[in-house]
Amino acid sequence: MAQLVAIVEDDLDQRENYADALVANGYEVLAYANRSSALAGMKSNLPDLAILDIMLENEMDGGFDLCRDLRAFAPRLPIIFLTARDSDIDRVSGLRLDAWDYLTKPLSMEFLTVRVNSLFRIVNSLNEPEEIANQHRLERGDLIIDPNSMSISWQGQPISLTLTEFWIVEALAHRPGIVKTYDNIMQVTRQTYVEKNTINGYVRRVRKKFIEADRDFKHIETVFGVGYRWLK
């Protein structure tokens, strides 16, 4: 059975394009134009994944509100924000609502489907027995990366990262001591175009999350003007 993706986007053209791209990749798609219809539709027909725009018609934070409403009856539903709003504050508020990722427009359809695929893979792996899950585990000292569930733990504590953040940490930790340039990292984030500054922002947030778990965390080093590297 094809997985059901719900798209909430007030712009008809974009909504249709997302839907077309996802349908072409074999997903079932339900598209909504505003918060009330989306809430009503998803209540009756719960999707496997939801992609939300933040500004919905004349509601500035319609997407955030919708996310809260969805969490009320579907706490484990993977949610991706896809928005034109690119401020740190929006990112932080979006992720605080337990969204799985926060993407900014414009985004290539190819990368959108990659993400949707990845997220479904995570969902599936979470349902798999543990032995299989541990099969491809990557261990770097205190760092344990599970590529199937796309989860990371540091000194045994799970670190809650978004999809993009996970990809960055995975890329850095894959070859410790080797510098990942901004270009490399940009590829990893699977977004069309990412500024150095945006990458810095991702890394800052990642560090912060590690530091919350371990005050002495210093394993991600900035190589100014070039990129970052994972220290052994």
Partner 1 sequence: MRANSNIQQRFGFSIRTKLALVTILLLAIPWTAYVYVRDMKTFLLAGQENALTLTVRAIATVLHDRPELFLSDEEEVLTAEPGDIYAHPLPSYINLDGGLEDWGEQILSSTTFAMNLEGELAENLLVRHTVGYRGAYVFAFFDVEDDFYVGRNLEWLRLDTSDQLRITLQSPAVGENRYLFTAEEPGRMSVYLMDLAWEYPLSGDPNYDMAANIQSSNNGYRIELRIPRYLLSSDARIKMEIVDVDDSLGRSVQDIVPFNPETASDSLSRVVVSSPEITRILRSLDRPDSRIWVLDEGGNIRTVLGELGQLDDDIQSNTTFGYFSQLEQAYNRLIAYVFALIEEPTVDSVAAGEADDPLNQEIIEQALEGTPGTLRVTGESDSERVIVMAAHPIWLADSVIGAVVVEQSDDEVLYQQQAVLEKVIGATLLILIGVIAAILIFASRLTLRITRLRNATDGAIDRDGRIIQTAVAAEARAGDEIGDLSRSVNDMLGRLSQYTNYLEGLPDTLAHEVSNPLNVVNSSLDNLSKEHPLSADSKYMTRAQSGLQRIRSILKNLTEAANLEQAMQLDKREVFDFPKMIEDYVDGCRHTHPEREFRFSIFKQPLYINGHPDHIAQMLDKLIDNALDFAVAGTPIRLSARELQGHAILDIANQGKVLPEGMAERIFEPLVSLGRSDAKKTRLGMGLYIVKLIARFHQGDVSARNNVLGDGVTFRISFPVTTIESVKRKISEAA
Binding site for partner 1 (CB under 8 A): 11, 13-14, 17-18, 20-21, 24, 84-89, 92, 104-110, 181, 192-193, 195-197, 200-201, 204, 222-226
Nearer to partner 1, 54 or 123 (CB): 54
Nearer to partner 1, 53 or 146 (CB): 53
CB under 8 Å to 78, separation ≥6 — which residues?
48, 49, 50, 100, 119, 122, 123
Q: Name the minimum Å distance from CB 19 to partner 1.
A: 10
Q: Which two tokens stand for residue 54?
A: 């933040």
Q: Answer yes or no: are the C-beta atoms of 179 and 229 closer than 8 Å.
A: yes
Q: Work out the burial of residue 127: count CB atoms within 10 Å of its CB; fewer than 13 is exposed, 13-18 middle, 19 or more buried.
A: exposed
Torsion angle (degrees, nearest 10) of CA 141, 144, 147, 150: -140
Q: Name the minimum Å distance from CB 220 to partner 1.
A: 12
Nearer to partner 1, 37 or 108 (CB): 108
Q: Name the minimum Å distance from CB 128 to partner 1.
A: 31
Q: Name the minimum Å distance from CB 151 to partner 1.
A: 26
Tell me whether strands 157-159 and 79-83 are parallel, antiparallel or unpaired.
unpaired
Nearer to partner 1, 149 or 198 (CB): 198
